[in-house]
Amino acid sequence: MKKLVLTLILLSPAFVKAQSRLDTLKREWFQQAKESCVQKIASEDLVFKRQEIPAEWSKSSAIILSSYAKYFAYSSKEGYRIGQYSLDRILLRDEYALEDFSSFALDDESYLNVRVIKSDGSVIELDHSREVYGEYIYTNGNTGKSWHYLDNRKIPVPGLEFGDIIEIERYGENIKFNSKGKVIYPTSEEGFFIMRMHESFPILQRTVDFEIGSPFELKWKAMNQAPVLKEVSRNENRITYRLTDGKRKNLKPEYWSTKSSEEPYVKVAFSKAREELKGEILSENKEYDPSWLLPYINEIRKDRELSQSGVALDFAKDNFMGTFKFSGSVARKFYSYYRSECFLNQHSISYEMSDAHFLAILSRVLDKFKVKYEWMAAVPKELGTWKDVVSADEVYLGIRVKQENEIYTEFDPYSTYNELDPSIQGTNAVFIDFQRSEKHPGLRFEELPESGPKDNLLTTTWTLSIDGTRVNAERKNAFTGQSRFSPMEYLPHTLLFDDDYKRLYGKNYALGIVSSHPFIERRDLWDRMEEVADRYWHDDLKYAEKQLTYYFRNRNYGFEDYSFVRLNDPARELGSPELVFTDKMTLNSLLGESDTIKIFHIGRLLGETIYHLDAEDSIRQTGIMMRTPQTVKTVIILKDAAKYSYSGLRYLDTTVENEAGSFSVSHTIHDEQVEIIAIQTFTGQRLGANKWNDVLDLVQCVAETNRKKLLVTKKAEQEKEEIKTTDDGQSKGDKVEEMEGSNDE
């Protein structure tokens, strides 16, 4: 949620003309540069070798007949040459494919050409004169105001037919042009990417070349039986490696799939050699030496641009002057300071919400205050283990403060200390102590803690009262751990960081709000700072209502008259990382009347499920990974037990439990209210495809609960008809039982 600053510039005709000239120069340069790749393809016939299409692909929307790509990184007399070329040929088989390839996005950073090969062999070239612009809408997260402007250049590909072959050619290189039209080559560059062998469509033939020359070196790792790279040519300056593959079917999308970590893929990285720095492994595990990480982290620690940013100096100055009223540890105080300044941008300093930027400045602050700490590095589970790493870009970084044993990871405005991303929980992390020795830092392996379902808890408490055919509802939403990330993007940041400012600056917090907004220029407003700041929060509260109305939209029930009541005061307090907010609304689709009896669709509030599972979803290809272990608890309090009787409560109670998780519903009746509790637990474990039936059992149980109803009658009416039965001889309880056995709504 980075801030976007829109600057209006009056463009003169000369400026527009000059920019257009540079764009044309770049396109022409790309078109000429890619010719060497085209010649390579032609000389080796790498692209279009006719092959028989497997019969099992007959129903595929499209088929990738051939795919060629070339990546290169080397030094030339002009400078570093770093870029890529690709040429794909795709057979279109149905109307979905025709729609998918009916237009292409354009940019000025690469060359694109599209040709359509008709079934009679004729070729239609893409007409660049038909470029069109799409409309981009930017919405300000604070005010809710929107700006519309043209963006996303596209070019249509009209007249596509079944059986057409579409050929897509791209070329890109990391270059720039100066105002005089001279090419500027990069002075330093590194690259890391993952090539997956399966595509959106079946692929018949794939060839990928990697041309690497001094001072770059290539590292790669084939995962899950992916094909390996082989050297195909070598001269004094460059080496070319090649990957060949083919006849790969596409994998259908599946819920909670482990496809990304199970399917065959190749990790590739190229970089310049760094100065070696040798550390001392202090832990018992010495099978792997992660010393190669040390130069990379050293570059972050000693980045000259970061040292000149002044953030650490500003923080130290404010701290020594007693500006902060918060008495927490240095690390916690800086975390609050940096987070609030990132969003409110009080100073002219350029604050960035990036991992390296935050961690580098945090390390400077800790050094300045002589706080003992160590760096942390971990490999996400889906990328393998330390032995599979080919690039520092795969590694998740953090800093652990020793005295408090608190870990601060890559900067995220919604997280707190000791909150580790699920992808690295339970992994074997490396801890690096530069304070021990700059030249020979200590390295230790240590397993990171792993959260359980109770650590990531989402609790929704409904307090309901019946009003005619509508239900008045007050809801308390409580989020802990990873569950907090769900609603965060819909809450304006000023609501979240109000507490940061108040905790840091005490009564002077309003000064930060007012001074951070240049539109507040009238001096009389400065005299009423707290009033202005409070109004600022109030405006954000109203905007939060609009955002949350969208977030909480639900297919199971409709609501109106929504109002955001309050956010808990220490919502962002680092020592209490629970987010709680309360809202009110009127639910207008839960009650239906049948004569004198109200039908209450209570099950629609109990748990979420997947309704669109079909027969194909019962066949599982990949393993199951829900990523975050989580508990979702729903509490419903029916306040009208003194006025109404609720028949069918016992039919709500249910329990199912297996390796994938559990789901249970229970109820209790007190003097004047009924309480219903539903608890849905996801273990977060990685399960094999053979355990998919366990997941389906949970989904089915929740779906059945969603369809359950209660019969509601006023107590006065019930007393008159206590012994009466319905016209067909059934008691009310029997009628509920019959109703709950039906899927009809």
According to the model, what pLDDT value does residue 349 have? 40
Report the C-alpha gap between 180 and 192 in whole angstroms.
32
Distance CA 282, CA 587 (A): 60
Q: Provide the token pair at 630.
A: 């989580």
Average pLDDT value for residue range 359-371: 87
pLDDT of residue 739: 42
- Residue 284: CB partners within 8 Å, gap ≥ 6? none
pLDDT for the residue 336: 74
- Least confidently predicted of 284-288, 300-304, 735-739: 735-739
Output 396 or 35, whichever has higher pLDDT. 396
Mean pLDDT of 452-479: 89
Distance CA 115, CA 417 (A): 53
The arithmetic mean of pLDDT across residues 712-726, rounded, is 59
Q: Would you state the pLDDT for residue 175?
A: 79
Q: What is the DSSP string of 397-428?
A: EEEEETTTTEEEES--TT--TT---TTTTTSE
Q: Are 697 and 656 in contact (CB under 8 A)?
A: yes
Are the CB atoms for 631 and 451 separated by under 8 Å? no
For 83, counting Cβ atoms within 10 Å of its Cβ (0-12 exposed, 13-18 middle, 19+ buried), the class is: buried
- Of the listed ranges 168-182, 462-476, 483-497, the least confidently predicted one is 483-497
Rounded distance between C-alpha atoms, residue 104 and residue 96, angstroms: 15
For the cut 50, the answer to whether the pLDDT of residue 316 exceeds it is yes
Q: Is the pLDDT of residue 27 over 50?
A: yes
Is the preceding peptide bond at 215 cis, omega within 30 degrees of 0? yes
- State how far the alpha carbon of 644 is from the alpha carbons of 453, 461, 672, in Å: 36, 20, 10
State residue 532's pLDDT score: 53
**Secondary structure of 434-459 as H, E, C letters:** CCCCCCCCEEEEEECCCCCHHHCEEE
- Distance separating alpha carbons of residues 326 and 575, to the nearest angstrom: 12
Can you tell me the mean pLDDT for 259-286?
76
Position 468 scores a pLDDT of: 80
SS3 labels along 247-280: EECCCCCCCCECHHHHCCEEEEEEEECCCCCCCE
Rounded to an integer, the average pLDDT of 190-209 is 90
Interval 258-271: pLDDT, tens: 887 889 999 999 88
Query: CA–CA separation, 14 vs 225, rounded Å?
Result: 57
d(CA 54, CA 56): 6
pLDDT for position 37: 74
Q: What is the predicted pLDDT for the residue at 36? A: 75
Average pLDDT for residues 230-234, to the nearest whole number?
91
Asked if 711 and 733 touch (Cβ cutoff 8 Å), the reply is no
CA separation for the pair 740, 543 (Å, rounded): 40
Q: State residue 276's pLDDT score.
A: 64
3-12, 38-47, 134-143, 525-534: range with lowest mean pLDDT:
3-12
CB 358 within 8 A of CB 411: yes
For 540, phi then psi, to 5°, come to: -70, -30
Q: Which two tokens stand for residue 107?
A: 């940019």
pLDDT of residue 18: 46
Question: Which tokens is 666 given?
Answer: 């229970």
141: enclosing H helix or E strand: none
224: three-class secondary structure by DSSP: coil
pLDDT at 11: 35
CA–CA distance, 677 with 636 (Å, rounded to integer): 6
Q: Supply the pLDDT for residue 400.
A: 94
Q: What tens digit of pLDDT does each residue of 387-410 get?
A: 999 988 899 999 999 988 889 886
> Residues 233-260: pLDDT tens digits?
898 888 999 999 989 998 888 878 888 7
Give the dihedral of Cα atoms 509, 512, 514, 517; nearest 10 deg: -150
Using CA atoms, how far apart are residues 293 and 433, in angstroms rounded to an integer?
Answer: 12
Q: pLDDT band at residue 40, thresholds of 50, 70 and 90?
A: low
CA dist list (Å): 23 to 29, 171, 174, 176: 10, 15, 14, 10
The three-class DSSP label of residue 152 is strand
> What confidence tens digit (pLDDT) does each residue in 660-707 have?
899 999 999 887 889 999 999 988 778 888 888 888 888 889 888 988
Q: Residues 426, 413: contact at Cβ < 8 Å?
A: no
Strands 203-213 and 62-75, sheet pairing: parallel
Are the C-beta atoms of 295 and 275 separated by less than 8 Å? yes
DSSP letters spanning 77-92: SSSEEEEEEEEEEEEE
Where residue 736 falls among pLDDT bands split at 50, 70, 90? very low
pLDDT digits 0-9 by tens, 500-558: 555 555 555 555 555 554 444 444 444 555 565 555 555 556 666 776 776 666 666 77
pLDDT reported for residue 172: 85
Question: Which one-letter DSSP state was computed for residue 660?
Answer: T
Q: DSSP character for 577?
A: -
pLDDT of 443-461, one tens digit each? 899 999 988 898 889 899 9
For 273, half-sphere exposure in the C-beta direction (CA atoms, 13 angstrom radius) is 6
Q: Which class for 723: exposed (0-12), middle (13-18), buried (19 or more C-beta within 10 A)? A: exposed
Highest mean pLDDT among 324-338, 503-517, 643-657: 643-657
Q: What is the pLDDT of residues 134-147, one digit of tens each?
A: 665 655 544 455 65
Give the percent of the chain with pLDDT over 70: 67
Quote the pLDDT of residue 422.
85
- The confidence band for 5, taking pLDDT boundaries of 50, 70 and 90, is very low
The pLDDT of residue 543 = 65
* Mean pLDDT of all residues in 312-317: 70
**Band of pLDDT at residue 201, cut at 50, 70 and 90:** very high
State yes or no: pLDDT of 4 exceeds 50. Answer: no
pLDDT of residue 74 exceeding 50: yes
Q: What is the sign of the dihedral through the CA atoms of 384, 390, 395 and 399?
A: positive
Selection from 206, 192, 176 nearest residue 70 by Cα: 206
- Of the two residues 283 and 429, the one the predictor is more confident about is 429
